[in-house]
């Protein structure tokens, strides 16, 4: 026979006390007395027939049963809270906030957003730039970051599998054929992007050109700036295949050299490592992963 579902107030008291490992702090969060929290948890333990906490001389610890029970209760309360806010909160649904790398948004995501809007016209999205480091995760449901894919406390899902190759404006070769030799890069300005581990030094080493001087050139804090300067004819940027397809197709950039080097760095969808993701954020996540899968399949077909 199934156990009767415990009262919601008892479950809320347990979840708060388990998060804080303190009846006092749980009472403050729920605007109850410590005695009320203690009484509700005793009632819950009695109904379930097992202790959920170990009462220690200097605090609390979860029992094995409490550790097993907490994730399910936390997720259920989060879902109830989100659904209540969406349906009854201030008369409008929640906006899903996505912090996004600027070049990824401009070159990859923006051209595809119309497809998401066609599928989910009632989901509100707010995009903010993550150009400035150190702002944390305060106001975002998820983020698109560039790197190796490992960030403490975060779930990370890879979005791109890029190849690196030099790109420049076709104006650099007006009236003449593109060069056959990579050595001609020494005659041009190289456009560097700060913060990319696999930049010009990496590419030149992989192509046997590490002897070329890369100290000279221009530096930028975003790839989108470097690509725009390259399109204006000031030098060579190191393009990432997923991001420069549109600029090459439109004729603003060309890729005059053959070698393409795979990179382990990539764009990743990142969000806090917890069991609950807002339903609208989950729909955006699923759509984004499907779009990247489609692109990867098309490029390998």
Residue 1 in any domain: the answer is no
Average of per-residue pLDDT values in the chain: 86
> What's the token pair of residue 269?
């969808």
Looking at the fold, whether 33 and 60 belong to one and the same domain comes out as yes
Domain CATH for 57: 1.10.10.10
Residue 75 in any domain: the answer is yes
Range with lowest mean pLDDT among 68-72, 158-162, 209-213:
209-213
- What's the pLDDT tens digit per position in 126-153? 998 876 544 444 578 899 998 888 888 8
Looking at the fold, whether 179 and 243 belong to one and the same domain comes out as yes
Of 73, 88, 103, the position where a domain reaches its end is 88
What is the span of the domain harbouring residue 222? 163-262
Looking at the fold, whether 201 and 112 belong to one and the same domain comes out as no
CA dihedral for 183, 188, 190, 191, sign (positive or negative): negative
Looking at the fold, whether 27 and 75 belong to one and the same domain comes out as yes
Residue 169 in any domain: the answer is yes
Q: What is the pTM of this model?
A: 0.65
CA atoms within 13 A on the CB side of 91: 0
Looking at the fold, whether 284 and 237 belong to one and the same domain comes out as no
Strand 236-240 relative to strand 124-129, pairing:
unpaired
> Would you say residue 223 has pLDDT above 60?
yes
Stated as kind and residue range, the H or E segment containing 95 is strand 95-100
Domain CATH for 176: 3.40.190.10
Instruction: Tell me what pLDDT residue 90 has.
Output: 55
Enumerate long-range contacts of 66-75, CB under 8 Å, 24 or more apart.
66/14, 66/18, 69/14, 70/14, 70/15, 70/18, 71/275, 73/11, 73/14, 73/15, 73/18, 74/15, 74/19, 74/275, 74/276, 75/275, 75/276
Query: Do 191 and 220 touch, CB atoms closer than 8 A?
Result: yes
- What's the pLDDT tens digit per position in 236-285? 999 999 999 889 999 999 999 888 999 999 999 999 887 677 888 999 99
Query: Do 193 and 131 touch, CB atoms closer than 8 A?
Result: no
> Would you say residue 178 has pLDDT above 70?
no
Distance CA 284, CA 266 (A): 19
- Give the number of other CB atoms < 10 A from CB of residue 277: 20
- What's the pLDDT tens digit per position in 26-46? 999 999 999 999 999 999 999
Residue 2 in any domain: the answer is no
- What's the pLDDT tens digit per position in 48-96? 999 999 988 888 899 999 999 999 999 888 888 877 776 565 555 678 8
Query: Do 240 and 164 touch, CB atoms closer than 8 A?
Result: yes
Distance CA 151, CA 155 (A): 8
Looking at the fold, whether 171 and 255 belong to one and the same domain comes out as yes
Looking at the fold, whether 274 and 235 belong to one and the same domain comes out as no
> Would you say residue 1 has pLDDT above 80?
no
Q: Domains in the chain: how many in total?
A: 3
Instruction: Tell me what pLDDT residue 135 has.
Output: 46
* Residue 134: strand, helix, or coil: coil
With 0-12 / 13-18 / 19 or more C-beta atoms within 10 angstroms meaning exposed / middle / buried, residue 112 is middle
β-sheet with 218-220: strand ranges across: 218-220, 190-193, 236-240, 163-167, 261-262
Instruction: Tell me what pLDDT residue 177 has.
Output: 66
Instruction: Tell me what pLDDT residue 55 has.
Output: 87
Stated as kind and residue range, the H or E segment containing 165 is strand 163-167
pLDDT band at residue 295 using 50, 70 and 90 as cut-offs: confident
Residue 3 in any domain: the answer is no
Instruction: Tell me what pLDDT residue 136 has.
Output: 47
> Would you say residue 211 has pLDDT above 90?
no
Looking at the fold, whether 249 and 275 belong to one and the same domain comes out as no
Looking at the fold, whether 248 and 204 belong to one and the same domain comes out as yes
- Give the number of other CB atoms < 10 A from CB of residue 201: 15
Query: Do 26 and 20 touch, CB atoms closer than 8 A?
Result: yes
First CA to last CA across the chain, in angstroms?
55
């Amino acid at each position: 026979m199934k156990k009767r579902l415990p009262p919601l107030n008892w479950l809320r008291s347990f979840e708060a006390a388990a998060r804080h490992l303190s009846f006092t702090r749980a009472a403050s969060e729920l605007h109850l007395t410590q005695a009320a929290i203690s009484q509700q948890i005793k009632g819950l333990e009695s109904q379930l027939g097992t202790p959920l906490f170990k009462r220690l001389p200097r605090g609390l610890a979860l029992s094995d049963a409490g550790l097993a029970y907490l994730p399910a209760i936390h997720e259920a309360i989060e879902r109830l809270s989100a659904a209540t806010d969406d349906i009854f909160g201030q008369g409008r649904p929640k906006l899903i906030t996505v912090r996004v790398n600027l070049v990824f948004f401009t070159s990859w995501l923006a051209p595809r957003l119309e497809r998401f809007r066609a599928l989910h016209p009632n989901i509100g999205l707010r995009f903010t730039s993550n150009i400035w480091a150190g702002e944390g995760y305060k106001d975002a449901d998820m983020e698109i970051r560039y790197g190796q894919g490992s960030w403490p406390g975060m779930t990370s899902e890879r979005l791109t599998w890029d190849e690196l190759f030099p790109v420049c404006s076709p104006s650099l070769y007006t009236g003449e054929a593109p060069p056959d030799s990579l050595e001609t890069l020494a005659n041009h300005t190289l456009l560097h992007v700060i913060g990319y581990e696999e930049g010009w030094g990496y590419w030149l080493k992989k192509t046997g050109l590490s002897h070329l001087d890369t100290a000279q050139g221009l530096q930028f804090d975003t790839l989108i700036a470097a690509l725009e300067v390259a399109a204006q004819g000031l030098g060579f940027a190191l393009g990432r295949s997923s991001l420069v397809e549109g600029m090459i197709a439109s004729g603003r950039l060309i890729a005059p050299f053959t070698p393409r080097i795979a990179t382990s760095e990539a764009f990743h969808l990142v969000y806090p490592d917890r069991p609950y993701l807002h339903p609208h954020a989950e729909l955006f996540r699923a759509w984004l992963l499907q779009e990247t899968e489609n692109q990867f399949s098309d490029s390998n077909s």
